[in-house]
Structure 1
Amino acid sequence: MGALTDDPAVREMTFIVIDFEGTTPTGHPPQPTEVAVLALKIRPGGGWERVGAFESLMKPPPFAPLTAADTQQTGITAAMLADAPTAAEALATLDSYLTAGPYLLVAHHAPVEGGMIYHRREDCPVLSAIDLIDTILLAKHLLPHLENYRLDTLLDHYKIPRPKDRHRAMADVRVTAEVFSRLIADAESTDSIQTLRSLKTTARRRAKASNPVQAGLF
C-alpha cells in the first residue's frame, strides 16, 4: 500500500459505500425504494476488508408510487415492495448499526444519495450527519482525460464487468466499491492524495444535516 492508506486516519476510518434506488414524484423529493451499503476498512496488512453490509427494499408512500419506468430500470416491482418496511423503518434499522465510527460515506454522484438521506434525517440521525466522498469528484481529479464520469464509464475504464442486475442497490454498491478502491490505488500510485485530509479536500460533500441552521430574524 502507499502513503494514503498508511495514514493512521485512513486506517481508523470505516468507509460506507451507499446507494439508493427510488421514485421521483412530482412536487416531492425522491422517495427511496431500496438501499444498500458495504462497510470497508483497510486491513492491518494492507488491502480492503468488508466489515459489514446491509440492504433493504422500502415501501414508498402513496404519493410516490413505483412507475413502469422505475421497474424497467431497476427490476423492482410493486409486488416486491408490498410487504417491505417503510423508509423510516429501514433507515432506522441501518442507523442502529452505526455505533463504531468514525465513518465516511462513499457514493457515486453523492449529492443524490446525500439528498435522499437528508430528507429522511429524522429517521437516521447518525447516517445523516456523516460526510460523503463523491467518486465523481475523485475521478475528475485523478482521471481528467475521461469523456464523462458516469458509473458505467468508470466501469469500462477499469474493465470492471457490469453486473446483470445493474441499477439494483447492492449491485451498484459493489461496483462503486470496486471503483473507489481503484481510484484510491491510482491516488497512491501518483502520490496526488497522501492523507485523509487531502482526500476530503478533493472529494468530500458535506452532510447537509450538519450545516448550521441560520438563526431567525427578529
Structure 2
Amino acid sequence: MNALNTTRVPPHTQSSARQNPDPAVATLLAVAFEVPDGGLDHRVDLAAVALRPAGERYTLVGSLHCVLHAGMSAALIGERCCLPLDQVRERTPVAVALTVLEGYLTAPPYLLVTHQAPALGAVIARHAGACPALNAAHLVDITVLARRLLGERCPPNLPSLAAQLGVTTAPRSTRTAMDAALTGALYAHLHRIHHGRAQANADARPTRPVSNERTGHPQISGIARAGQEVRHGQAA
C-alpha cells in the first residue's frame, strides 16, 4: 500500500537555477530511503522532511512519505501520488517517488542531507531529467559532517549518533520516516555546534588597534560615554 502524507514547501527565496548551499539561506531537505533486496526498481520506501532556517534553529515546514512497488497499477499510483498517467506508466517506483518529491520543491535553494549520500546521489543522477531541483541541490552526508566535527567520537549509525548527542524526535510510523526526521534533527544540532565553535573562535581572536595614518598612533575605533567601561571593543 502506498502511504503518502505531504505538505507543500512554501516559497522562501526566489527560484534560481544555481543552488546556494549556505545553511542560513537554503531550505534543509532531509531524506531517507530503504533499499529492498530486489532493488529500487521494484520497490521504494522514501521519506523526507523539509526544515527552514530561523536564526540558529530550524522549523519543520513539510514532510513526505512515499511507498511504491512494481505490483501497483499505474492508475492507483497516479491517483495516490496525484500524478498524470504519462508520468507513471513505464516508470520504476523510485523514478515516480523522486518525481513526487520534486513536485514539492518550488522554492530553491535546497540543502539535501542524508546518511545514504552515495546511494541517493547515484539514484538522483540516474533520474536527473525528472528531478532537476534535487539534482541541483547541494548533497551533504550527515555521517561525514558528524565525523568532521566530532572526530573519532563519532558513532557509525544514526541512532547511536543521536543518543550520544542527546538528539530526540517524535516517534514515526516507519523506520524511513524516523530516519529522515532524525537526519534533519542531527543536522540542525551539528549546525549549532559548528556555529558555536565559529563564534567562540571569533570572540577569542585578538583585535588589532586602528592606527592614525598621519601620526601612526593607535586610535579608538568606538566612542564610549564618560565613565563607561570598554571591554573587547564594546562598551560595558
Q: TM-score, normalised by structure 2?
A: 0.59
Q: Which AA in structure 1 matches 2:50?
A: A
Q: Aligned partner of 1:160: which letter?
A: V
Q: 1:174 to 1:153 in 2, by over 3 A?
A: same
- What residue number does 2:107 align with? 100
| C-alpha distance in 2 between matches for 1:101 and 1:189 | 27
Write the distance in 1 (CA, Å) between the matches of 2:172 and 2:64.
Answer: 17
Q: TM-score, normalised by structure 1?
A: 0.63
Amino acid at match of 1:50: L
Larger Rg: 2
Higher relative contact order (CA 8 A, sep 6+): 1
Taking the TM superposition and a 5 Å limit, the aligned residue runs for 1:8-157 are: 9-25=22-38, 33-43=44-54, 46-60=56-70, 86-146=93-153, 148-157=155-164
CA distance in 1, matches of 2:56, 2:190: 16
**Matched residue type, 2:67:** L
Q: Residue in 2 aligned with 1:184?
A: 191
The AA in structure 1 aligned to 2:167 is I
Shift of 1:185: 1.3
1 CA distance for matches of 2:56 and 2:138? 24
Distance change >3 Å, CA 121–CA 141, structure 1 → 2:
same
Q: CA deviation at 1:120?
A: 3.0
Q: How many residues align?
A: 165
Change (3 A) 1:158 1:148: closer
Q: CA deviation at 1:55?
A: 1.6
Q: What is the deviation of 1:19?
A: 0.9
1:52-77 deviations in Å (ceiling 9; x for gaps): 22221111479xxxxxxxxxxxxxxx
Gaps of 5+ in 2: 1-20, 82-92, 202-236
Q: Secondary structure at 2:48's aligned position in 1?
A: strand
Unaligned residue ranges in structure 1 (runs of 5+): 1-7, 63-80, 195-218
Residue 183 of structure 1, CA deviation:
0.7
Structure 2 match to 1:78: none
Taking only the aligned residue pairs, the percentage that are identical comes to 27
